[in-house]
């Protein structure tokens, strides 16, 4: 195995005079299948194309794009495994200090709105070379969208970037189709027929059924029209039922073809079995390597897609709702490779994807008729047609545990606890507790207010409480003391101070002590972001309360961390404003005392007595909530159709 060219000399050493494609990426070059650029470049290599990588070019110097000269077929451009604005800024819009996808974690090696900047840099020198964009940034900005950082509606990234074609979703199949079309001599402007692509045109083909969306100009003027447009887009994410969409903008149409079809198990095995070097390029070693590789180096991707469809998650828009899985043989073969790596200590860190315990489509009809347009699989309650069955996942984990050299196999990516409870057999739950938790299990109830959970597309709090009871009962049965670390979110649309206080009371009663909190982050193309911008729930067009004032958001966040003395005055203000002075004082149910804490804070609260048969929930030694602006590498690759991510994962 060898890395693809990263400089002109690498190209010449391979005996190439010219690259077929030059791939410009906002990340460092990591040849591992958790990085979209690795998948796309290896897919093209397998198809016989020569690909050279330009990693994090200096966007202030047009010459930085000329590393290989003019490519024979075109440029591919991706902002990276994360949207460049999420990569750069926290939810409070403060600049981050580190970038896990850059050598040594150094911040500042890519521009804001990286895809647009890189494409315009290319156009300064190459006016007529085809440019194909993809990845999570392009995928989620493919049509007009609300941009949180500029607080404005932005038009399709295809127009702002001056690219010829956009590939959205994972892109393995569509990138090869596009390459073959260009190689056959087709002009980029004539490639209008490939699933999973977006193109621009002056006129619509009236022979093809197309839904015409409100124009970009309308969306800028009318927030309700944006909510209506997004509802149509959201209803056309399924590869079997989606219609062609066209959005007018400034005299042209941005046309979105239906998504590419799900990969078969054989195709998934091929993607993950390509000859990756499984690490970052050696040229980064001196700078300290690439921090992002550590999260995925000893982990296994077993699936992609997610039928959980949380409102704040973009996976429905990027990977889709239909689960695609690798075979046991493919995963076991990769596990064998991991055990041979010199730094492997016997621990497989994760076996999963966006949701670890989804190993097959929600129901049989999804692979032939697609996911239901007007119904979700798990929300508000599990669909009666859903197959809640963990038997395949159990069999896989058992095989992995038996591999020589493997001491433990952990499950650290998301577990849908409502899906777990829907399984009539508790075999997986029991084995999860016995074998696959490293002291604490991370789960994502997100909130406890049913009103907020409804906006999030999450199950009612009673479902989570049932899961908690079962979890601790199993721990007691096995004589184990493992804990739960719940991810909690503040300031999501629908959350007033009343709901924030309800969450604080729950934290008090459960004995949690969150060190970090996830504030809702309005990222492009999620239902929750549309709620945030428009004040409407696109699913129902009902009005939604949205906490947008920074001071109110600070109060909601502080309520989750009410034990922190630094938050005393914000918590007090919130309780008074909500007329909940009953929670101020020295009573057992009070959140804060009537007088401010002295230097050093209040003395530690006495340990909560355990309910019969249920261990006390341990105040987490590690952060109990999500980071204010998380930056983990995307677990399920978000290929850059990259010309993704999460989740883009």
What is 343-405 written as a DSSP string? T--SEE-EEESSSTT--S-SSTTHHHH-S-SS--SSSSS--TT-----HHHHHHHHHHHTSTT
Given 194, 214, 235, the domain boundary residue is 194
In a domain, 331, yes or no: yes
Shared-domain flag, residues 321 and 380: yes
What is the phi/psi pair of residue 197, to 5°?
-125, 160
Among candidate residues 406, 438, 470, the one where a domain is terminated: 438
| Shared domain check, 357 and 421 | yes
The answer as to whether 270 is a domain residue is: no
pLDDT at 600: 59
Q: Report in angstroms the alpha-carbon separations of 566 from 94, 406, 569.
A: 20, 45, 8
| Domain shared by 163 and 298, yes or no | no
Are 318 and 407 part of one and the same domain? yes
Rounded CA separation 432/522 (Å):
33
Supply the pLDDT for residue 599: 66
What distance in Å separates the CA atoms of residue 502 and residue 483, rounded to the nearest whole number? 22
Measuring CA to CA, how many Å separate 44 from each of 52, 232, 237, 380, 575? 11, 33, 25, 42, 58
Pair of tokens at residue 160 = 């702002």
Q: Which residues on neighbouring strands pair with residue 250, listed in sequence order?
A: none
| Start-to-end CA span in the chain (Å) | 26
Q: Are residues 162 and 306 in the same domain?
A: no
The closest alpha carbon to 300, from 412, 417, 394, belongs to 412
Q: Of the candidates 358, 337, 359, which has an alpha carbon nearest to the alpha carbon of residue 348?
A: 337
Give the C-alpha separation, 532 to 493, whole Å. Answer: 6
Residue 407: HSE in the Cβ half-sphere, 13 Å Cα cutoff: 7
Report yes or no on 467 lying in a domain. no
In the predicted model, residues of the chain with pLDDT beneath 70 are 599-649
User: Domain span at residue 38?
Assistant: 8-194
Are residues 526 and 410 part of one domain? no
Helix or strand or coil: residue 201?
A: strand
Q: Is residue 240 part of a domain?
A: no
For 622, residues 6+ apart whose C-beta sits below 8 A from its C-beta are 440, 485, 515
CB distance 418 to 409 below 8 Å: no
Strands (E), 168-239: 197-201, 210-212
* Bridge-based pairing state of the strands 244-249 and 252-256: antiparallel
Residue 461 within any structural domain of the chain: no
Q: What is the pLDDT of residue 627?
A: 36
Position 312 in a domain = yes
74 and 148 fall within a common domain: yes
Q: Are both 571 and 504 inside the same structural domain?
A: yes
In a domain, 109, yes or no: yes
DSSP structural state of residue 104: G
The 10s digit of each residue's pLDDT in 158-178 is 999 999 999 999 999 999 999
567, HSE (Cβ side, Cα atoms, 13 Å): 24
| pLDDT of res. 637 | 37
| pTM for the full predicted model | 0.90
Residues 494 and 425 in one domain: no
- State residue 1's pLDDT score: 83
Q: Tally the domains of the chain.
A: 3
Task: Single out the residue of 482, 551, 553 nearest to residue 517, CA to CA.
Answer: 553
In this structure, what CATH number is given to the domain that contains residue 428? Answer: 3.30.750.210
**Domain of residue 23, CATH code:** 3.40.50.280
Other Cβ atoms closer than 10 A to 35: 33
Residue 497 and residue 389 share a domain: no
Q: Which of 194, 226, 241 is the last residue of a domain?
A: 194
**Pair 190, 324 in one domain:** no
Compute the chain's Rg from CA coordinates: 25
- Give the pLDDT confidence of 16-72 residue by residue, as tens digits: 999 999 999 999 999 999 999 999 999 999 999 999 999 999 999 999 999 999 999
User: Looking at the domain assignment, is residue 208 inside a domain?
Assistant: no
Dihedral of CA atoms 574, 577, 580, 586 in degrees, nearest 10, equals 60
Q: Both 420 and 519 in a single domain?
A: no
Count of alpha carbons within 13 Å of 522, Cβ hemisphere only?
25
Residue 106 sits at the vertex; the CA angle it makes with 102 and 108, to the nearest 5 degrees, is: 90
Q: What are the CA-CA distances from residue 93 to residues 79, 96, 461, 623 (Å)?
A: 19, 9, 31, 21
| Per-residue model confidence (pLDDT) at position 513 | 86
Between β-strands 518-519 and 299-301, what pairing exists: parallel, antiparallel or unpaired?
A: unpaired
Tell how far CA 594 is from the center of its chain.
42
């Amino acid at each position: 195995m060898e890395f693809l060219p990263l400089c002109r000399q690498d190209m010449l050493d391979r005996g190439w005079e010219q690259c077929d494609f030059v791939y410009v990426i906002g990340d460092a070059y990591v040849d591992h299948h958790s990085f979209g650029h690795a998948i796309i470049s290896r897919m093209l290599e397998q198809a016989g194309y020569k690909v050279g990588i330009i990693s994090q070019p200096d966007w202030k110097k047009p010459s930085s794009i000329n590393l290989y000269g003019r490519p024979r077929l075109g440029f591919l451009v991706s902002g990276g495994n994360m949207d460049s604005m999420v990569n750069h800024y926290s939810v409070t819009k403060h600049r981050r200090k580190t970038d896990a996808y850059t050598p040594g974690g150094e911040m500042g090696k890519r521009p804001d709105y990286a895809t647009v900047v890189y494409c315009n840099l290319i156009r300064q020198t190459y006016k007529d070379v085809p440019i194909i964009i993809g990845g999570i940034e392009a995928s989620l900005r493919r049509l007009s969208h609300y941009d949180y950082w500029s607080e404005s509606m932005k038009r399709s990234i295809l127009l702002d970037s001056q690219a010829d074609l956009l590939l959205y979703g994972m892109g393995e199949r569509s990138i090869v189709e596009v390459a073959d079309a260009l190689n056959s001599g087709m002009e980029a402007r004539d490639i209008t027929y490939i699933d999973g692509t977006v193109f621009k045109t002056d006129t619509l083909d009236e022979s093809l059924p197309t839904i015409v969306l409100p124009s970009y100009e309308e969306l800028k003027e009318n927030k309700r029209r944006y909510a209506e447009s997004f509802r149509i887009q959201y209803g056309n994410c399924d590869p079997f039922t989606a219609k062609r969409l066209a959005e007018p903008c400034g005299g042209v149409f941005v046309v979105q073809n239906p998504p590419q079809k799900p990969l078969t198990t054989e195709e998934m095995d091929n993607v993950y079995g390509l000859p990756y070097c499984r690490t970052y390029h050696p040229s980064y070693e001196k700078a300290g390597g690439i921090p992002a590789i550590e999260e995925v180096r000893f982990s296994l991707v077993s699936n992609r897609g997610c039928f959980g469809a949380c409102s704040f998650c973009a996976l429905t828009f990027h990977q889709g709702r239909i689960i695609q899985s690798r075979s046991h043989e493919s995963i076991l073969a990769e596990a064998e490779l991991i055990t041979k790596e010199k730094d492997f200590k016997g621990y497989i860190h994760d076996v999963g994807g966006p949701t670890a315990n989804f190993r097959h489509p929600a129901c049989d009809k999804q692979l032939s008729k697609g996911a239901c347009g007007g119904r979700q699989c798990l929300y508000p309650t599990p669909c009666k047609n859903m197959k809640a069955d963990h038997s395949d996942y159990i069999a896989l984990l058992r095989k992995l545990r038996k591999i020589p050299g493997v001491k433990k196999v952990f499950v650290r990516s998301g577990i849908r606890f409502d899906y777990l409870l829907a399984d009539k057999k508790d075999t997986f739950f029991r084995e999860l507790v016995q074998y696959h938790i490293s002291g604490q299990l991370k789960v994502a109830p997100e909130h406890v207010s049913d009103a907020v959970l409804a906006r999030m597309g999450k199950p009612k709090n009673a479902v989570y409480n049932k899961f908690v009871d079962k979890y601790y009962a199993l721990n007691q049965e096995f004589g184990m003391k493992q804990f739960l670390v719940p991810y909690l979110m503040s300031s999501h649309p629908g959350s007033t101070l009343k709901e924030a206080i309800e969450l604080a009371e729950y934290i008090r009663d459960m004995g949690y002590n969150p060190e970090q909190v996830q504030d809702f982050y309005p990222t492009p193309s999620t239902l929750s972001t549309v709620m945030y911008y428009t004040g409407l729930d696109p699913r129902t067009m009902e009005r939604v309360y949205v906490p947008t004032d920074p001071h109110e958001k600070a109060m909601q966040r502080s309520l989750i961390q009410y034990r922190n003395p630094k938050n005393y005055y914000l918590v007090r203000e919130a309780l008074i404003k909500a007329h909940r002075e009953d929670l101020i004082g020295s009573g057992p149910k009070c959140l804060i005392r009537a007088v401010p804490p002295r230097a050093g804070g209040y003395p530690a609260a006495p340990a909560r007595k355990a309910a019969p048969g249920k261990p006390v929930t341990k105040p987490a030694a590690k952060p109990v909530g999500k980071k204010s602006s998380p930056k983990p590498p995307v677990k399920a690759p978000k290929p850059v159709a990259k010309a993704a991510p999460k989740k883009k994962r």
